[in-house]
Structure 1
């Protein structure tokens, strides 16, 4: 750590051309090492000795400590062993999840190639189930309670009706095959993320236990919150300011419906339904008129504890950097309140392949919509429907 710290302190003024990039990488490595030193373990991993860890437990521990990438390209492209109720399918833990992945992918992918309102809702639902937890609570977290109790009726969850109804339908269908609501929600969030163009393919684990008790209140951020309040709120979830910046980047795909009802359907950057980094620089600047910037995001983009990473994600290598950091941060979030992490199993192989490049074929019409024209297209954009040929 000392060598990194020494190099990171060297000024770059007057340096040889190209050295600025080198020093930037050194500073980033030093910052990463410093963060790793402060990472906290969660759940049963806090107390289990390394000798007691399963292979999955070791991998998750390494991800939580920022020592291992949370992304994976491992994919099973074969046809499922059999129908979901067949003996062959029941013999493979991930077979049922492959059938679920097929259904989710179809619902989450729009005709434009962008991800749909249901996909974006699935990501938000994953956040809202898992984030109702803190180090001072003895329950809550990624336990399915958002859809198994009256927790869903809280105003925090406005706008999640469509994905919640769909998730309940899937739960009714697949619960007989051992699928928990907690896993269904988090698998849905990860499948939705990779279905969104440019999104990371996050390692996905199953085996969470459901909880029929509603989670604690007051643990989700509000759009009006200060940066300080949000940073402290997430710190109590073992999520530091760096990872918080990565997590809020999910707003790059979104279109709001309740923050400002007079602007129903307005996006948070110019690329709704695409998992890119346009959100970061546009939150700091003046995007087209239809883009609605959340006040909490603006505050985070300016705070001294978060602006550095915000600018990193806005940079030339921002996409891969963000995807890497988001995958780790979301893995942590998706395991909050889970006390059997060491017993989880991995079914990442059922996720669809990542799309590492994407061009919207209807960009011309989309740009006109972003300038405030064609309000009648709001629902079509929200549902990721191809707009080509409408002018």
Structure 2
């Protein structure tokens, strides 16, 4: 009898597990043939296709993809866990673009808002859903990126975010960490979010050199930026000539003052160094930090997980390498308690980086 009862219990447990797994893997086939976990997400597949064709030049990891990711950050960070600083990830930067693009910290955002607005108007989405879906889709076009989460169902924004909520490259580490803490992020999450700089370029930090990349592999979502910010060496004319910009040892590369300061500060230096040549760590931490950022100010209980509409990024071929002529001896290490990873060097002469096309 005991064995019989045990057999029944085991059978019931297995049945419950099978039902749970079936619920987790339930799929819906949309009218256009796409498959998703929730019927509400079917409406997003045509929008994703439109974004790829009309915004991202056929799914390229280009200037528009970089700018879409930047736009999502500048939209969402206008928020405080203490209240009184905007609606967070609500798309206010798109709907009230005339107001928010005039803020000093949002310099250069006007191009991507102008590019996104007509596509947004055709999409049927709220501004917040459009901005944050575009960020996830654009990022997915970059090899090595994580597949970002996307929750669907943001209500329309009520008002523009206030000024002075976006950290600037001239800010001190203390000011940057305080602003992020006010939005609910710790120091490790700040460093994780800066992974976005691996596919970024600057247009307005120094207007004389638009499209200047932050690392030598700007079309790949890798940890190269964390390595190159740590390099010391000779500088070149035009590097470090404007507020917020510091000397870079790579010709044609920009190094933000805030990135360098964070890489050297005792509160963040070890988090920074841990990212170097650890693609999995960077992907995991960036994805988690972005999942938090992109729902700031939102009631996630009223939202639907439509992450499966986001394209799957190509994998990272890796590993990263020191740019030609650089090696371990050129690293300005600020976290000596951690062993610096062994990294080889690209063969050849010192590189000169080209501006990012379309900037």
- TM-score by length of structure 2 reads 0.73
Contact persistence 1:269–1:282 (CA under 8 A): yes
Within a 5 Å distance, the mapping from 1:56-205 to structure 2 comes to 81-82=31-32, 92-106=39-53, 115-138=61-84, 139-149=86-96, 150-175=99-124, 179-205=125-151
* Distance across 2 between alignment mates of 1:207 and 1:198: 28
CA distance in 2, matches of 1:291, 1:107: 29
How do 1:254-293 residues align onto structure 2 when only pairs under 5 Å count?
Answer: 254-286=200-232, 287-293=249-255
> Greater shift after overlay, 348-357 or 147-156?
147-156
Deviations 1:104-142, CA, capped at 9 Å, x for gaps: 23456568x861100001000000110001123243211
Q: Is 1:382 aligned with 2:331?
A: no
Deviation at residue 284 of structure 1 after TM alignment: 0.8
Equivalences, count: 291
The whole-number CA distance in structure 2 between the counterparts of 1:77 and 1:307 is 46
Asked if 2 retains the 8 angstrom alpha-carbon contact of 1:126 and 1:185, the reply is yes
SS at match of 1:228: helix
User: Could you give the per-residue CA deviations for residues 228-256 of structure 1, whole angstroms, max 9, x where no partner exists?
Assistant: 11111101111000000010121111111
1:290 and 1:370 in contact (8 A); partners too = no
Report Cα offsets for 1:291-312 as digits up to 9, x if no partner: 1100000000011111111111
Corresponding residue for 2:180? 234
Tell me the residue number matched to 2:281: 321
In the TM superposition, what whole-angstrom CA distance separates every residue of 1:198-224 from its partner, at most 9, and x where no partner exists?
000022111111113111221111111
Q: Residues 342 and 127 (structure 1 numbering): CA distance in 2 closer, same or farther, change over 3 Å?
A: same
Identify if the C-alpha distance between structure 1 residues 110 and 307 changes in structure 2 by more than 3 Å, giving closer, same or farther: farther
Distance 1:267 1:136, change over 3 A: same
Report the Cα distance in structure 2 between the residues aligned to 1:174 and 1:320, rounded to whole angstroms.
34
- Work out whether residues 55 and 116 of structure 2, in 8 Å CA contact, stay in contact via their aligned partners in 1: no
Q: Which residue of 2 aligns with 1:353?
A: 312
Aligned to 2:265: 303
| Separation (CA, whole Å) in 1 of partners of 2:198 and 2:204 | 17
Larger gyration radius, structure 1 or structure 2: 2
Q: Larger % of helix: which?
A: 1
Structure scoring higher RCO (CA < 8 A, sep ≥ 6) equals: 1
Contact 2:100-2:161 within 8 A present in 1 as well:
yes
Q: Is the 8 A contact 2:230 2:260 kept in 1?
A: yes
Q: Offset of 1:262 from its aligned partner?
A: 2.3
The whole-number CA distance in structure 2 between the counterparts of 1:221 and 1:215 is: 14
Cα-Cα RMSD: 3.3
Measure the CA separation in 1 of the matches of 2:128 and 2:183.
18
CA deviations on 1:331-357 (whole Å, 9 max, x unpaired) are 11111111x211110111111112113
- For the Cα contact (< 8 Å) 1:148–1:212, is it kept in 2? no
Counterpart residue number, 1:372: 352
Are the counterparts in 2 of residues 247 and 330 from structure 1 also a CA contact under 8 Å? yes
TM-score when scaled to structure 1? 0.67
Match of 1:294 in 2: 256
